[in-house]
Structure 1
């Protein structure tokens, strides 16, 4: 074991090491102050958004919480949510603190706790990969204050931070050369979206020759987590049919997800579903084989292929919601903090996410097209990096300035134009310019 650590200021070579015996305590002062400041800022923003509501909260979240509060442990005998049993347990726990706040505030508290967990896991990823306190601190703050995280949990009270927490934990364990199948299994038991990491996990199982019997942990975790509701009297058919019921809820190829189906919206539903499933399965299998056969090593590579899995699946699959890029958005922050080459990826992912969220929040659907186009760029260049294995980067100031200005212009236009479809020359100009500057930023950031 060496006493070396990584030089904080080595931006262009984050792996250059210096002796840390005399410097480590001092090097933690500023990062800790930054984390505390951002931590309290995040709490303040969540407090301000505690009463913000939408149709999902009124129709689903608040009634679910109320049912759990009014029926207590007996609620477990009923399918009072359309989520897996794990979420029912969390609602029951939250209901024990009913005197602390309004129903929606307590539901949002569940999300906030797991958002904090996600921020801690990402910070741990970065710290173990770089040993740079400032980078770990920035990773924590970036996740805790990420616009899509605030949208998802603080404003909407959604549960995506829960499955993402276990997804990130799985990736973090694989980055440390440990078996991360169990947290992946729990992620899939929380929400079906946990399967987005499936190609990565399969690839790591094959790569490290982990026994295939570990795949039994996926149904096993679901079965174990379902024991309390089964004991309470809920039917086995109801418990096993959760994901089937979710899959049949909507019949649109995209539910505001900025993916490939934005470009193919006219495709017949059944045809699109079949094509999307085949594309996702083929791409996922190809990624798994690549991971298993690749000679590249190190935590950065492991995180890179995990990010590829987390963006490829929601990008190709039909019936995706705008929230389903959540895990990629947070994993890309970790990747950017480890290697600044991927800073544009993390920033662009946030911009695309907010554009998608606005489609549901304010019915500003015109942001989906440029968001889907920019996500296409991310997928292309992420896969390109997998093939080429490049790690260099640049910080192109003019490209960043152009990206910021064009993105601000696009948001200004969309907010001014409001809801509905309005493909005007001004829209084409602002959307096209934003997409062009996004592409330029990605290309110019690559050494």
Structure 2
């Protein structure tokens, strides 16, 4: 009996040492203060960027909003956007606040709402897994102020935060041992990119032995969301062929996406599409089977598996845009807050994202190559971590310094030299430095790659 009591006290003491925030209300006050401060800063940044307009926003988003504002609910009979019906409803809601600002600002406000939702969802994921208020607050701030998040919504008025929000909710539900298929179906009903989480969801269905009939919710929710536009008189073909029409919008293997197709630029388009689809499908199936059969448990493993799915699909699939890594870039922040050894993944993901965004924003395409190389490294280590597990961690100070310096050098070179520059020895050198530094950073973050079967027996 004495031994049990001592063990129990030791466990309570150890929990107290690791988790002092549970007993210190001042940490709650600090966490709330940090979240409020970063929240206001994020709003200020979005206000400053409210008038920044891309060609896509001028040619598509603003005319869509104006149509929704001028025609109201009756406009649902027309396919005035090339997105799914849900986005048309959001435009109609935004148009109700037309007196608050110009069309571009109100379109961006839609993204802001869901960006806030993403930040809250990540904070909830971290809080439920760690019960540390400061960690949850940091997660909220990191997502809300993430450079790729600012680029995507505040500057470009894109809507990737919408499907990402439902993706995060789906992952959060699975982490709580609940069914997240309906949320996944919502993500897919917003944009086809929601399918990036598909291998993870299939793996969880097999792992949790969820009835396959739940997969019917994916088309079911899409149909349910389409009912208002169908009642309004829009044709069935225009409603249910949205994703097919989007797939034929352009004929390039990559649209500035930092993925494998940057490294295979000479491959014929038709061959590349076929190879990419087969490669992604096969890899997704392998990932699903691994998740279903793995004996690892816990919220960190589930989140890591989701991150692998969200990273692997846009990395392997052809015809991807630079912003299709958005969900991984956000989810990796949650993973880093759960386990600090994954901080390099989140940081490098943001750097790669910004380098890719610059290709469209400033026509600086030279940054896509090092971003693709670094994403290749990220995919390798994510898959390896999921497969073999991890043991031990230390912060690689020298590697962090090397990555920061080389990345700063690359950004400075790209910004000062400007677009349209031919590849030069200086560029090749800076590209090599960033890639090498990323590799060193990730390598030093892995002190021990021993799998569960190699761990010492207790």
Confirm or deny a common fold (TM above 0.5): yes
User: Which whole-Å deviations, capped at 9, do the CAs of 1:376-395 have from their partners, x for residues lacking one?
Assistant: 00000000001111142211
Tell me: CA distance 1:319–1:19, structure 2 relative to 1, closer, same or farther (3 Å).
Answer: closer
Alignment partners' CA distance in 1, 2:13 and 2:155: 39
Deviation per CA, 1:389-427, whole angstroms, max 9, x where unpaired? 114221111111111000000000011121125210000
Cα distance in 2 for residues equivalent to 1:4 and 1:267? 60
Per the alignment, residue 314 of structure 2 pairs with 314
State the alpha-carbon separation in 2 of the partners of residues 346 and 283 from structure 1.
23
Q: Does 2:301 correspond to 1:301?
A: yes
Residue 309 of structure 1 deviates from its aligned partner by 0.1
Pair 1:412-2:412 in alignment: yes
- Bigger drift between 413-422 and 182-191 goes to 413-422
2:246 aligns with 246
Where in structure 2 are the equivalents of 1:184-195 lying within 5 Å? 184-195=184-195
The separation in 1 between residues aligned to 2:21 and 2:158, in whole angstroms, is 45
Give distance in 2, aligned partners of 1:60 and 1:143.
27
**Which residue does the alignment assign to 1:274?**
274
- Do the aligned residues in 2 keep the contact of 1:6 with 1:130 (CA within 8 Å)? no
Give 2:165's aligned residue.
165
Q: For residue 266 of structure 1, give the secondary structure of its aligned residue in structure 2.
A: coil
Radius of gyration: which is bigger? Answer: 2
Tell me, in whole angstroms, the C-alpha distance in 1 between the residues paired with 2:25 and 2:77: 53
Corresponding residue for 1:441? 441
* Contact 1:396 1:445 (C-alpha < 8 Å) held by counterparts: yes
C-alpha change, 1:365 and 1:268, in structure 2 (3 Å) is same
- Contact kept, 8 Å, 1:4 with 1:17, in 2: the verdict is no
Deviation at 1:238, TM superposition (A): 0.7
SS at match of 2:295: coil
Paired residue for 2:118? 118
Residue 179 of structure 1 aligns to a residue in which SS? Answer: coil
Q: Name the CA shift for 1:99/1:287 in 2 (closer, same or farther; >3 Å).
A: same
- Written as runs of structure 1 = structure 2, the 5 A alignment for 1:217-236 is 217-236=217-236
Shift of 1:24: 3.9
Q: Distance in 2 between matches of 1:62 and 1:237?
A: 25
Structure-2 change in CA distance of 1:61 and 1:391 (3 Å): farther
Unaligned runs of 5+ in 1: 11-15
**What is aligned with 1:137?**
137
Residue matched to 1:98:
98
CA contact (8 A) 2:21 2:132 kept: no
**Residues 21, 133 of structure 2: 8 Å contact kept:** no
Quote the Cα distance in structure 1 between the aligned partners of 2:392 and 2:40. 35
Give distance in 1, aligned partners of 2:72 and 2:29: 46
Contact 1:127 1:133 in 2 (8 A): yes
d(CA) in 1 for partners of 2:21, 2:87 = 47
Please list the CA deviations of residues 308-329 of structure 1 after superposition, one character each: whole Å capped at 9, or x if unmatched.
0000000000000000000000
Give the 3-state SS of the residue equivalent to 2:111 in structure 1: helix
- 2:59 maps to what in 1? 59
Structure 1 contact 200–287 (Cα < 8 Å) conserved: yes
Relative to structure 1, the CA distance from residue 416 to residue 292 in structure 2 (aligned partners, 3 Å threshold; closer, same or farther) is same
Asked if the contact 1:226–1:239 (Cα under 8 Å) also holds between the matched residues in 2, the reply is: yes
Shift of 1:4: 7.0
- Please list every run of 5 or more consecutive structure 2 residues that lacks an aligned counterpart in the other structure: 1-10, 448-458
The alpha-carbon deviation at position 17 of structure 1 amounts to 4.2
Aligned 1:63-74 pairs, distance under 5 A: 63-74=63-74
**RMSD (CA atoms):** 1.5
1:5, 1:85 → 2: CA distance?
54
Once the two structures are TM-superposed, the CA of residue 266 in structure 1 deviates from its matched residue by 1.1
Write the distance in 1 (CA, Å) between the matches of 2:332 and 2:252.
28
Q: Residues 238-261 of structure 1, C-alpha deviation per residue, up to 9 Å, x if partnerless?
A: 100100010000100000000000
Question: Are the aligned partners of 1:5 and 1:132 in contact in 2 as well (CA < 8 Å)?
Answer: no
* CA deviation map 1:146-188 (0-9, x unaligned): 0000000000000000000000000000000000000000000
Tell me the secondary structure at the aligned position of residue 215 of structure 2: helix
Deviation per residue, 1:236-287 (Å, 9 max, x gap): 1110010001000010000000000001111110000000000000000000
Distance 1:316 1:6 in 2: 43
Q: Please name the residue that 2:455 is paired with.
A: none
Aligned twin of 1:28: 28
Equivalent position SS for 1:185: helix
* 1:325 corresponds to: 325
The match for 1:150 is 150
Specify the SS of the correspondent of 2:395: coil
Per the alignment, in what secondary structure is the counterpart of residue 408 of structure 1?
A: helix
CA distance in 2, matches of 1:356, 1:391: 33
Contact 1:365 1:421 in 2 (8 A): no
Question: Aligned residue for 1:343?
Answer: 343
Conserved 8 A contact 1:364-1:419: yes
